[in-house]
Chain A
Amino acid sequence: MYYQSESHSSSSVHGGTGAGDPLERVVRLASGSAVVIFSVSTCCMCHAVKRLFCGMGVNPTVYELDQDPRGKEIERALSRLLGGGSAVPVVFIGGKLVGAMDRVMASHISGTLVPLLKEAGALWL
């Protein structure tokens, strides 16, 4: 599991145009790795989703929003993206939004998660 520290994430983001729009930043971060999880370090459901991917042998890139100076903005943007409710955890695979915990689990049970992971190069066999 790769944890992006705040300095790391801000440096990777503040190149070029500058990240004015939090949603843009989300998209940029999400496209940066095969599996991206936006999380809050104290959130237990986030812990559960991280354990899920690790249990499958996947190494997700995790952004802890409570450790990011602009984390609050991102949280708000994510919450809007998900249609209200809790902003974290939210999972992107291959740059595409999968969703919150319930969508991730539904996708795993229905057998669509693993192909998605393989396609994104996060899982081999």
Chain B
Amino acid sequence: MASQRLGEAALSESGPSHHHHHIPYSLPHMLHHPNTSFIRNQEGSAFDFGELEEAIVLQGVKINNDETKQPLYTTVRPAATLEMFPSWPMRFQQHTPRGSSKSGEESTDSGSAVNTLSTTRLEPDSPISRKTSSDHRLPPPQPPPQMDTGSGVDSPRTGGSQTQPAAKQAPEKTLRRLAQNREAARKSRLRKKAYVQQLESSRIRLTQLEQDLQRARSQGLLLGGGGVAGGNISSGGAIFDMEYARWLDDDHRHMSELRTALQAHLSDGDLRVIVDGYIAHYDEIFRLKGVAAKSDVFHLITGMWTTPAERCFLWMGGFRPSDLIKMLITQLDPLTEQQVMGIYGLQQSSQQAEEALSQGLEQLQQSLINTIANGSINDNMHHMAVALGKLSNLEGFVRQADNLRQQTLHQLRRILTVRQAARCFLVIGEYYGRLRALSSLWASRPRETLIVDDSSCQTTTTDLQMVQSSQNQFSNF
């Protein structure tokens, strides 16, 4: 049990002569820290006091809310570190800046209890060699009668409101810096864990994808006519599909965050962080698409990475920005007149840009048709080489189209207030979620018979629908 570990660790670290000091500490500790968050946060086998204090603080506090992470260091003090600066009064420590979320502190009742307990730590020297990282909480040697936690709960809190004059400026900065370091380390550990989980789920998805492919191929359904060699999805395409699947998971998470944030009526500052995070999330998919366009532009431009319903509305490898604006106009909040002008201006400019790109692509298509049609028997290879050269321009158009999409989203962000932008992005996310759901429903709708023939295969697997679409890829030009 975690708290027992604490006790043990404290015991082991302080040496045999201090057993009697540590035991009373660990007992109440166990009483007040039956928390699982501490166990959850344990990474690796080494016991980390930094993690302990953070975990205890986070008990009952939403991990997502960055603000509440601030007061981490204003609570729990593991026994072993208390000896570090025995002459420092604890109240001073509690009052160090960033007490912005008192709510975070309030929720850690047990934390304060431990604080109290820690005050009972007497000065006996104890192993100063403790991790220097957790040294910014110094408990003042207080008179002992605070063993029972009930009375102890409030005192550190009220104590904290009175500033202690004892000021050691330099160590305070050190303490703050160390706290920030710990915080940064913890965040990166959490990020790493999330990433690993995503990797795991992507791996599983990849195996499933491969199985589906195998099955479909064995049924002779994947033809080479789709322009991809041997009926395989190219590695660039497969990689992008995996990354896109992960992006969709992230999207889901961002949407929940947005929803919760709007319902919780967070301040504009907090909301802005979340909204900007969502924009960065979109920037990420455009970056990934850019990479994928280099390796397999056909995969993008034919929409093989999206669902059938989305593919219906595909424009140059993605959504059509002016369509998105048209959809949003009806959904957005009451807008100021200036905002209305801005939105209509955005709609017009995106339409003009789309038109220009479409015409450019059309010219490319015409030129390609001419090249292929005019290939003579003698000069076939040359014409093919020319055609290949022209095809390579496709990547540029998909890049420009994605650029247009990205700029449209950024401009929306600029026109709208933070709150409006949050609602707007929620609407966008939900809209595409519904479109994807529509595709799934369509794929699994009940059908009378299962007829298998060359041109129209009726099964319920979505990969088959992908095949059917791939046969019409040139119509997407």
List chain A positions with a Cβ less than 8 A from chain B.
42, 44-45, 47-49, 51-52, 55-56, 86, 101-102, 105-106, 108-111, 113
- A52 and B356 contact, CB distance less than 8 A: yes
A49 neighbours in B (Cβ, 8 Å): 356, 360
Across the interface, name the chain A residue whose C-beta is closest to B365.
A44
Let me know if B417 is at the binding interface, CB within 8 A: no
B352-369 CB contact bits vs A (8 Å, 1 = yes)?
Answer: 110111011101100100
- A102 and B355 contact, CB distance less than 8 A: no
Q: Given the complex of chains A and B, what is the CA–CA distance between A45 and B398 in angstroms?
A: 11
Query: How close is A108's CB to chain B, nearest CB, in angstroms?
Result: 5
Q: Which 6 A-B pairs have the closest CB atoms?
A: A48-B360, A52-B356, A109-B407, A44-B364, A51-B359, A51-B356
Q: 20 A-B residue contacts at CB 8 Å?
A: A44-B360, A44-B361, A47-B359, A47-B363, A48-B356, A48-B360, A48-B363, A48-B397, A51-B359, A51-B360, A52-B355, A52-B356, A102-B403, A105-B400, A105-B403, A105-B404, A106-B407, A108-B352, A111-B345, A113-B349
**Interface residue from B356, B397, B404 paired with A109 (Cβ < 8 Å):** B404
- B403 and A106 contact, CB distance less than 8 A: yes
Q: Given the complex of chains A and B, what is the CA–CA distance between A52 and B349 in angstroms?
A: 10
B73-114 CB contact bits vs A (8 Å, 1 = yes)?
Answer: 000000000000000000000000000000000000000000
Let me know if B236 is at the binding interface, CB within 8 A: no
Q: How large is the interface on B (under 10, 10 to 19, 20 to 34, 35 or more residues)?
A: 20 to 34
Across the interface, name the chain A residue whose C-beta is closest to B414.
A110
Q: Given the complex of chains A and B, what is the CA–CA distance between A41 and B182 in angstroms?
A: 60
- B359 and A108 contact, CB distance less than 8 A: no
Given contacts A51-B356, A52-B352, contact A45 B393 (CB under 8 A): yes
Let me know if B119 is at the binding interface, CB within 8 A: no
A-B contact count (CB 8 A): 73
Let me know if B342 is at the binding interface, CB within 8 A: yes
Q: Given the complex of chains A and B, what is the CA–CA distance between A106 and B357 in angstroms?
A: 13
B367 neighbours in A (Cβ, 8 Å): 42, 44
Let me know if B163 is at the binding interface, CB within 8 A: no
Given contacts A55-B356, A101-B396, A109-B410, 15 further A-B contacts (CB under 8 A): A44-B361, A44-B397, A45-B393, A45-B397, A45-B400, A47-B359, A48-B361, A56-B352, A86-B396, A102-B403, A105-B400, A109-B349, A110-B407, A110-B414, A111-B345
Let me know if B411 is at the binding interface, CB within 8 A: yes
Let me know if B350 is at the binding interface, CB within 8 A: yes
Across the interface, name the chain B residue whose C-beta is closest to A55.
B352
- B359 and A111 contact, CB distance less than 8 A: no
Let me know if B3 is at the binding interface, CB within 8 A: no
- A108 and B360 contact, CB distance less than 8 A: no
Q: Given the complex of chains A and B, what is the CA–CA distance between A51 and B404 in angstroms?
A: 16
Let me know if B206 is at the binding interface, CB within 8 A: no
Query: How close is B364's CB to chain A, nearest CB, in angstroms?
Result: 4
Q: Given the complex of chains A and B, what is the CA–CA distance between A19 and B350 in angstroms?
A: 39
B361 neighbours in A (Cβ, 8 Å): 44, 48
- B411 and A110 contact, CB distance less than 8 A: yes
List chain B positions with a Cβ less than 8 A from chain A.
342, 345-346, 349-350, 352-353, 355-357, 359-361, 363-364, 367, 393, 396-397, 399-400, 403-404, 407-408, 410-411, 414
A110 neighbours in B (Cβ, 8 Å): 407, 410-411, 414
Query: How close is B383's CB to chain A, nearest CB, in angstroms?
Result: 15
B363 neighbours in A (Cβ, 8 Å): 44, 47-48
Query: How close is B110's CB to chain A, nearest CB, in angstroms?
Result: 52
Query: How close is A113's CB to chain B, nearest CB, in angstroms?
Result: 8
B345 neighbours in A (Cβ, 8 Å): 111
- A108 and B353 contact, CB distance less than 8 A: yes
Across the interface, name the chain B residue whose C-beta is closest to A52.
B356
Query: How close is A99's CB to chain B, nearest CB, in angstroms?
Result: 12
Query: How close is A66's CB to chain B, nearest CB, in angstroms?
Result: 14
The winner among A44, A49, A111 for most chain B CB atoms within 10 A is A44
Query: How close is A58's CB to chain B, nearest CB, in angstroms?
Result: 11
- B355 and A51 contact, CB distance less than 8 A: yes
Across the interface, name the chain B residue whose C-beta is closest to A86.
B396
Query: How close is B412's CB to chain A, nearest CB, in angstroms?
Result: 10
Q: Given the complex of chains A and B, what is the CA–CA distance between A45 and B124 in angstroms?
A: 77
- B349 and A111 contact, CB distance less than 8 A: yes
Given contacts A44-B361, A102-B400, contact A111 B356 (CB under 8 A): no
- A108 and B349 contact, CB distance less than 8 A: yes
- B407 and A105 contact, CB distance less than 8 A: yes
**Interface residue from A44, A45, A105 paired with B353 (Cβ < 8 Å):** A105
Q: Given the complex of chains A and B, what is the CA–CA distance between A119 and B362 in angstroms?
A: 32
Q: Given the complex of chains A and B, what is the CA–CA distance between A52 and B404 in angstroms?
A: 13
A51 neighbours in B (Cβ, 8 Å): 355-356, 359-360
Across the interface, name the chain B residue whose C-beta is closest to A50.
B356
- A109 and B346 contact, CB distance less than 8 A: yes
Q: Given the complex of chains A and B, what is the CA–CA distance between A114 and B462 in angstroms?
A: 45
